[in-house]
Amino acid sequence: SAVISQKPSRDICQRGTSLTIQCQVDSQVTMMFWYRQQPGQSLTLIATANQGSEATYESGFVIDKFPISRPNLTFSTLTVSNMSPEDSSIYLCSVVGSTSGEGDEQFFGPGTRLTVL
């Protein structure tokens, strides 16, 4: 299994500011994923962070709004830029790892709860 930590665990931010969320994994992984979970909703994939190349963004998400860094195989950051109240969500980091006998399994970090005023 993979152990994932995120910083900060929560934050309250003012409209128009930016917040950078950090994700640290205890093992080297090729791909890291960033999800958003709006209140009462399920998870929506924002982008896939690949080490050594630009992140791949899903429809509806753009690099200017959600820039991502992936400096090495155990770390990634997601920045939420020029925030508005609509960005209030839980942001989750995720990786895929192999579970013995069960193939690939997806592991999630504890999430960062963001509130934008």
Partner 1 sequence: KNQVEQSPQSLIILEGKNCTLQCNYTVSPFSNLRWYKQDTGRGPVSLTIMTFSENTKSNGRYTATLDADTKQSSLHITASQLSDSASYICVVSASFKTIFGAGTRLFVKA
**Residues of this chain that bind partner 1 (CB under 8 A):** 4, 41-45, 90, 92, 99, 102-111, 113
Question: Whose Cβ is closer to partner 1: residue 82's or residue 98's?
Answer: 98
For partner 1, give the closer residue by CB, 38 or 82. 38
Rounded CA separation 22/91 (Å): 10
Cβ 81 to partner 1 shortest distance, Å: 23
- The answer to whether residues 63 and 46 touch, using CB atoms and an 8 Å cutoff, is no
In whole angstroms, the minimum distance from the beta carbon of 64 to partner 1 comes to 25
Work out the number of other CB atoms within 10 angstroms of the CB of residue 83. 21
Count of positions (residues) in the chain: 117
